[in-house]
Amino acid sequence: MTQSLTIRRPDDWHLHLRDGAMLAAVLPETARHFARAIIMPNLVPPVVTGAQAAAYRGRILAALPEGMTFEPLMTLYLTEQTDPDDLAAAHARGLITSVKLYPAGATTNSASGVKDFDKVRPVLERMAEIGCPLCVHGEVTDREIDIFDREAVFIDRVLDPIRRATPGLRVIMEHITTKDGVDYVASHSEGLGATITVQHLMFDRNDMLVGGMRPHYYCLPILKRRQHREALVAAATSGDARYFLGTDSAPHPTHAKEAECCAAGCFTAPIALSCLAHVFEEAGALDKLEGFTSLHGPAFYGLPVNADTITLSKLDPLDIPKTLPVGEHTVTVFDPGFPLHWRVTG
């Protein structure tokens, strides 16, 4: 008998859609399975005002193929110049769902991010007042700090001080990648959640580096050691509502990934749910998948759970396209390197 699982329709609480031809190419891959997604604002130039968020939302909806439904939940890119009134007005109108903090230089298109965290204190205080949550890319950018330690150091040096200084600010630690991240969430329940990606649940740094470098597994924060992956799997499959799915699906043209200096990001959207069913089944926790993909995120953001469902079935290995066309280029689909049997069938 075919094994199958019906769950509430999932949402993606951390997604990069880009713009233009890339947006048109990747949007259906998310909209096919996910009802909503938190849309990252790290375009070039970034989405820093309410008006820019409204315009970007319009471009996303215009790129949605006929017959598909999808709700983009917009974010603003926090800068040292962010106007608290503009932010509050966009939030009050329901135009933005959250604000994204990138430490300047931490990752792709983060140059306009925050250098001096004291400078954004008034904005963060306003956000706490109006109930607008902060999504955080949690890595320090200090050249002295080893890339594998940047998340743990950020928690001590930046995140914890911000949270202490701004009581009531709801914070999402985006794409946690370490046991340190899990431990911090586990010991600080008030107004704190964390998203976890597909690739950080599946792979560790050996998978990326041993036997040759695999650029399609390179993302930021970078894959860590196995013990960290195990802590993430334990957190995601625990049923604890503070952890939810944020794929961080981050498409780049294939030539930018397979380059001398490879762009950070894994394009996981097309196979995210197949991968997750695999991970949760391996952990003996298929019954916890729905919470992680479909229930915990809405609860944290104070949004309703989706009304409809999807069904995943375990069948013959899934045929995963290697690439999708993007204008005259392609984007390479994340390939776990082993057969995936779970797929969305309804």
Residue numbers belonging to the annotated binding site for Zn(2+) = 14, 16, 100, 137, 175, 248
Q: Give the nearest distance from C-beta 175 to ligand DOR in angstroms.
A: 7
User: For the window 37-66, what string marks contact with ligand DOR as x by the rule CB under 6 A?
Assistant: -----x------------------------
User: For the window 258-297, what string marks contact with Zn ion as x by the rule CB under 5 A?
Assistant: ----------------------------------------
Token digits of residue 101: 């903090």
Q: Cβ distance 312 to 345 under 8 Å? A: yes
Residue type, 25: A
- Between CA 72 and CA 69 the distance in angstroms is 10
Q: Which is nearer to Zn ion, 128 or 195 (CB)?
A: 195
Report what 219 binds from ligand DOR, Zn ion, none; CB cut-off 5-8 Å by kind.
ligand DOR
Please state the three-class secondary structure of 186-221 as a single string.
HHCCCCEEEEECHHHHHCCHHHHHCCCCCHHHCCCC
User: For the window 214-253, what string marks contact with Zn ion as x by the rule CB under 5 A?
Assistant: ----------------------------------x-----
Residue type, 47: V
Residue type, 191: G
Annotated binding site for substrate: 16-18, 42, 137, 220, 252, 264
Q: Judged by CB under 6 A, does residue 264 bind ligand DOR?
A: yes
Question: Which entry of 204, 240, 248, 287 is annotated as an active-site residue?
Answer: 248
3-state secondary structure of 179: helix
Work out which of 73, 135, 219, 310 binds ligand DOR, going by CB under 6 A.
219
- Residue 58: Cβ within 10 Å count: 11
The crossing angle, in degrees rounded to 10, of helices 50-63 and 20-31 is: 70
Which residue spans within the chain are E strands per DSSP?
3-8, 12-15, 36-39, 71-77, 96-101, 134-136, 171-173, 192-196, 243-245, 309-314, 323-326, 329-332, 342-344
Q: Judged by CB under 5 A, does residue 12 bind Zn ion?
A: no
Residue type, 171: V
Q: Give the nearest distance from C-beta 269 to Zn ion in angstroms.
A: 12
DSSP string, 24-86: HHHHHHHHTT-SEEEEP---SS---SHHHHHHHHHHHHHHSPTT---EEEEEEE--TT--HHH
Is 335 in the active site?
no
Annotated binding site: 14, 16-18, 42, 100, 137, 175, 220, 248, 252, 264
Of residues 107 through 126, those in contact with ligand DOR by CB under 6 A are 107-108
Q: Judged by CB under 6 A, does residue 197 bind ligand DOR?
A: no
Work out which of 17, 101, 136, 250 binds ligand DOR, going by CB under 6 A.
250
List, by residue number, the catalytic residues.
248
Q: Which positions lie near Zn ion, rule CB under 5 A?
A: 248
Q: Which positions lie near ligand DOR, rule CB under 6 A?
A: 16, 42, 107-108, 137, 219-220, 250, 264-265
